[in-house]
Amino acid sequence: MMRMGVDLGGTKIELVALADDGSELFRKRVPTPKNYPDTLNAIVGLVAQAEAQTQQRGSVGVGIPGVVSPLTGLVKNSNSTWINGHPLDKDLSELLNREVKVANDANCFAVSEATDGAAEGKSVVFGVIIGTGCGGGLAVNGKVHGGGNGIGGEWGHNPLPWMTPDEFNSTSCFCGNHDCIETFISGTGWVRDFRRAGGEADSGIQISQMMSEGHPLATQAFVRYVDRLARALAHLINMLDPDVIVLGGGVSNIDAIYQELPKLLPKYVLGRECDTVVVKNKFGASSGVRGAAWLWTK
Ligand SMILES: [Zn+2]
């Protein structure tokens, strides 16, 4: 059966069609219209093109920056604000004349990596996407665990664990709370920390490059960053003890993180031992759209 995944982002909508073995039959992206009716039409148009070109009918899954609330049936928490308050899954199901599954994009990332990616075949997989923000997603036996409120995996908006006095009450978050994990662990948070210490960079990748060139402020910022990441992940391991944690987003490309985390995690996990595997994703920027297709489980 052909499976189509749609990644509904703030700037582009991408569709990929997968064969049963995960190979790509079709892929196309279009700019995201900034209103709801045109967004629906763009998705319907992409599905029609994929089916015309492949001469197959397929299932449809959609990853969104937000979630369909199980309580109201309406999209919430999306920074693409024009889809908030709409029953996206119902509207697409009617327009496409089949059931359409919609899930949070970080959960799609976890499903993708659990299905045929870096955590293939693992039972409990936690995905962390670290870019300008910091998203978490949870897949159990290859399926999204969204939870009764639809916020399963939203670990980034718990407070940073075991804060030091200078971390406490230092940073407000867009969500309305302060000192959220996201405010320290996101690329944006890392750059803010570096600037507070007197450094200048545009991204976490740039800070790590400066570190490899021997820049002392960058080295200190990396040490603080990876320790905060270790605390945040240890908190997660204490609650969930996943089989694998898969990192995605720009920061996941920094090799030094994978060298340092295994040394730091046992400092914070209960019992002072930890061999949880933390790995880089397999499918990079394509993982979200592939995971949307795999919402229809293999
Ligand atoms: Zn927050």
Neighbours of 80 (CB within 10 A): 18
Q: What pLDDT, on a 0 to 100 scale, did the predictor assign at position 298?
A: 76
In a 3-state reduction of DSSP, which class is residue 108?
A: helix
For range 183-190, the mean pLDDT = 96
Q: What pLDDT, on a 0 to 100 scale, did the predictor assign at position 95?
A: 98
Terminal Cα-to-Cα distance of the chain (whole angstroms): 9
| Ion ligand 1 residue ranges (Cβ < 5 Å) | 157, 173, 175, 177, 180
Q: Where are the beta strands (DSSP E) in the chain?
A: 2-8, 12-18, 24-31, 58-64, 67-68, 75-76, 100-104, 124-130, 134-140, 143-144, 244-248, 277-280
**What are the chain's domains?**
2-105+285-293 (3.30.420.40), 118-281 (3.30.420.40)
For range 33-61, the mean pLDDT = 98
Quote the ligand 1 centre to 169 CA distance (angstroms).
13
Quote the ligand 1 centre to 95 CA distance (angstroms).
35
Q: Inform me whether the pLDDT recorded for 157 exceeds 90.
A: yes
Quote the ligand 1 centre to 80 CA distance (angstroms).
17
For range 166-175, the mean pLDDT = 93
Burial class for 118, CB neighbours closer than 10 Å (0-12, 13-18, 19+): buried
Quote the ligand 1 centre to 54 CA distance (angstroms).
43
The angle formed by the CA atoms of residues 67, 225 and 145, to the nearest 5 degrees, is 25
pLDDT tens, residue by residue, 118-141? 999 999 999 999 998 899 999 999
Quote the ligand 1 centre to 214 CA distance (angstroms).
33
For range 262-273, the mean pLDDT = 96
Q: Inform me whether the pLDDT recorded for 34 exceeds 80.
A: yes
Residue from 142, 177, 139 nearest 156 by CA: 177
Question: Encoding tokens for residue 117?
Answer: 């990616």
Q: What pLDDT, on a 0 to 100 scale, did the predictor assign at position 92?
A: 98
**What mean pLDDT, rounded, does the chain reach?**
96
Q: Inform me whether the pLDDT recorded for 79 exceeds 90.
A: no
Question: Encoding tokens for residue 243?
Answer: 């089989």
Quote the ligand 1 centre to 157 CA distance (angstroms).
4
